[in-house]
């Protein structure tokens, strides 16, 4: 069906409240409701971590925007106009013990089968492919 190929896109303010509101909207969207509960929870957790990273670290408390687009095949793309992500961010494994602010990227990597982060035309572009089959 042609409708299933249409990408769902959102642009929000880079603010914690806007991230929460978008996650609530996405939770009830037909695309996420078609997933298992585990897949839906993992998807929402990954999106929350990624968008909150932009809010907390990318814009460093300043104003900005975040674009989120659903892609075919369990894919998501998150784009922002924040400062460049430092080299090497997002490549580390899960830290051991309690690490303040250290679980976001490793958690994203653990719950996805593909993560690509690059800079294009002055924007950060994060492409995610969620794991299928519940994890």
pLDDT, one tens digit per residue, over 25-39 is: 999 999 899 999 999
Evaluate whether residue 65 is within a structural domain. Answer: yes
Evaluate whether residue 135 is within a structural domain. Answer: no
At 53-92, the pLDDT tens digits run 999 999 987 899 999 999 998 999 999 999 998 876 665 5
Evaluate whether residue 28 is within a structural domain. Answer: yes
Q: In angstroms, rounded to a whole number, what is the distance separating the alpha carbons of residues 65 and 78? A: 11
**Looking at the 3D structure of the chain, how many domains does it have?**
1
Q: Which residue has the higher pLDDT, 109 or 134?
A: 109
Both tokens of residue 114? 């593909």
β pairing state of 123-130 and 65-71? unpaired
Q: Which residues of 7-41 are buried (b: 16+ CB within 10 A; e: fewer)?
A: eeeeebbbeeebbeebbeebeeeeebeebeeebbb
pLDDT at 1 (0 to 100) = 38
pLDDT at 94 (0 to 100) = 45
Evaluate whether residue 42 is within a structural domain. Answer: yes
pLDDT mean across residues, the chain: 87
Q: Which domain holds residue 16?
A: 2-130
pLDDT at 134 (0 to 100) = 45
CATH number at residue 9: 3.30.565.10
For the chain, what's the residue count? 135
Q: How many CA atoms lie within 13 A of 56 on its CB side?
A: 9
Secondary structure (H, E, C), the chain? CHHHHCCCEEEEECCHHHHHHHHHHHHCCHHHHCCCHHHHHHHHHHHHHHHHHHHHHHCCCCCCEEEEEEECCCEEEEEECCCCCCCCCCCCCCCCCCCCCCCHHHHHHHHEEEEEEEEECCEEEEEEEECCCCC
Evaluate whether residue 100 is within a structural domain. Answer: yes
Evaluate whether residue 10 is within a structural domain. Answer: yes
Evaluate whether residue 51 is within a structural domain. Answer: yes
The pTM for the full model equals: 0.85
Evaluate whether residue 72 is within a structural domain. Answer: yes
pLDDT at 101 (0 to 100) = 57
């Amino acid at each position: 069906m042609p409708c299933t190929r249409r990408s769902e896109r959102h642009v929000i303010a880079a603010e914690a409240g806007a991230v929460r509101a978008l996650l609530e909207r996405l939770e009830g969207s037909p695309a996420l409701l078609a997933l298992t509960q585990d897949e839906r929870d993992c998807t929402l957790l990954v999106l929350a971590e990624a968008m909150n990273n932009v809010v907390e670290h990318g814009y460093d408390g300043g104003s900005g925007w975040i674009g989120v687009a659903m892609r075919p095949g369990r894919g998501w793309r998150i784009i922002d106009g924040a400062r460049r992500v430092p080299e090497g961010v997002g490549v580390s494994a899960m830290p051991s013990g309690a690490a303040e602010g250290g679980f976001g990227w490793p958690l994203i990597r653990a719950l996805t089968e593909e993560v690509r982060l690059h800079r294009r035309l002055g924007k950060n572009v994060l492409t995610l492919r969620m794991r299928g089959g519940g994890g």
